Copies of this chain bind each other. A is one copy, B any other.
Amino acid sequence: MGNKLTNDDFKLALNEIGERAVIASRKLAIMSSQEKDDCLEAMAEAILREKDYILRENQRDLENGVANGMSQAMLDRLRLNEARVAAMAEGLRQVARLEDPVGITLSNTVRPNGLEIKKVSVPIGVIAIIYEARPNVTVDAAALCLKSGNAVILRGGSESIHSNLALAHCLTRACIDAGIEEAVVQVLPWTDRRAVQVMLKMDAYIDLVIPRGGESLIRAVMEESTIPVIKHYKGVCNIFVDKSCDQEMAVKLIENAKCQRPGVCNAAETLLIHKDIAAVFAPKIAAALLARQVELRGDDAFRSFAPQAIPATEDDWGEEYLALVLAVRVVDDLDAAIAHINRYGSKHSDLIISDLPESVAKFMAQVDSSTVYVNASTRFTDGYEFGMGAEIGISTDKLHARGPMGPKELTIYKYQVYGNGQIRT
């Protein structure tokens, strides 16, 4: 939709959306926790009330998907049903129950001249979310932004446009009913790519862009955006099995990290085995993973112990398979493992399996990733599992926020300085 509009039409329309978002964000920033939570509750009710309408619009997307030859996996991600609509409403209520991250005094100091300097958490302002496929992101992102006092502009994929607009209709309707500026949540009605291109230059209105989806989507956003972006490109998660560890536990952790849900960013993609235990451990893990239909791609050393593995190439070390495939390498020592991870990994989630405290300490300090694990599956990198309640995404960046991002990560701070006539001399 939108393909009959000119570039200037898009600019005009999007600037208006941006202005409305800024105005809404200023009102949101000073809204009480109760008002925000009441609005989230009203949104949950609106979604339940309008479920037939939502499912009908979702059906249109599904029919278009079938007509366009969409894969079964994609159709499944796109599909809503009563249970999924109920889960979205429950998600809104869960976010309502979280602590308000805004207005928290982070520090408070009194200077020798009597100035009181308070550092207080505030919303970021206007956030744009660009995402694909799953309509539940529309609701999750709106909920987290509202909770953290940010206005949000949502741009979902063309494949879910009818579902997203129907959900947006319920959300804004709830805002109106709750007496809240409806522009706190806006869904772009256009699927034309030019709309995104225009939006990504709107740094005068939008403070932050969070893209969620495949690496190509995220790279395109990065190239075009003049607005700061928080993101992860991919999750190339590594597991290092140290020379001394509980090997039975290692097998369980590797199986879980690789097989429990191979299509997600915190699934393991590469296994590094310390050479001192390779002769014993390599055949063991190979047997366990082959029994679970995992394709193994190994270096020569690994293949000498596990000949069922096919040869790995240099490209395998940086590959996010998102499937039942695992690259395996035998490394000389801990330093080699750390060097491998820092070179080929994606700074997402990396694991050491070890019972040597000095190895653990070194790995935890030197692996430069958002989340480093010892003796636990990488699959826990997730807002719910970390106890944040919900997440708007996972960051592998080095600024603002790393790892799972919850409501708190959608805030920044301001300094409030209280004086009684202090001047600088």
Contact = CB atoms under 8 A, between A and B. Distances in A.
Interface of A: 26, 29-30, 109, 111, 115, 117, 124-125, 207-208, 222, 226, 228, 230, 246, 249, 252-253, 255-256, 260, 342, 364-366, 368-377, 379-381, 385-387, 397-400, 402-403, 412-425
B260 A377 contact: no
Contacts of A422: 375-377, 380
Contact of A370 (B365, B387, B415): B415
Given A370-B414, A380-B417, 14 more contacts: A30-B366, A111-B385, A117-B387, A124-B399, A207-B399, A228-B399, A260-B423, A372-B415, A372-B417, A375-B421, A376-B422, A377-B424, A402-B415, A403-B415
Contacts of A26: 342, 366, 368
18 contacts: A30-B365, A109-B386, A124-B398, A124-B399, A208-B398, A208-B399, A228-B399, A249-B421, A253-B423, A368-B414, A371-B417, A372-B414, A372-B416, A375-B420, A376-B423, A377-B422, A386-B415, A402-B412
A30 B116 CA distance: 35
Contact of A252 (B117, B226, B421): B421
B246 A421 contact: yes
Given A256-B423, A374-B418, A421-B375, A222 B228 contact: no
A419 B360 CA distance: 11
Report which residue of A252, A387, A416 has the largest number of chain B beta carbons within 10 angstroms of its beta carbon: A416
Nearest to A420: B375
B373 A417 contact: yes
A24 B397 CA distance: 19
Report which residue of A253, A370, A419 has the largest number of chain B beta carbons within 10 angstroms of its beta carbon: A419
Contacts of A29: 365-366, 368
* Closest 8 A/B residue pairs (Cβ): A376-B419, A256-B423, A379-B424, A376-B422, A400-B400, A207-B398, A371-B415, A249-B421
A117 to B, nearest CB: 6
B109 A387 contact: yes
A68 to B, nearest CB: 34
B402 A400 contact: no
A398 B421 contact: no
Contact of A412 (B228, B249, B386, B399): B399
B124 A414 contact: no
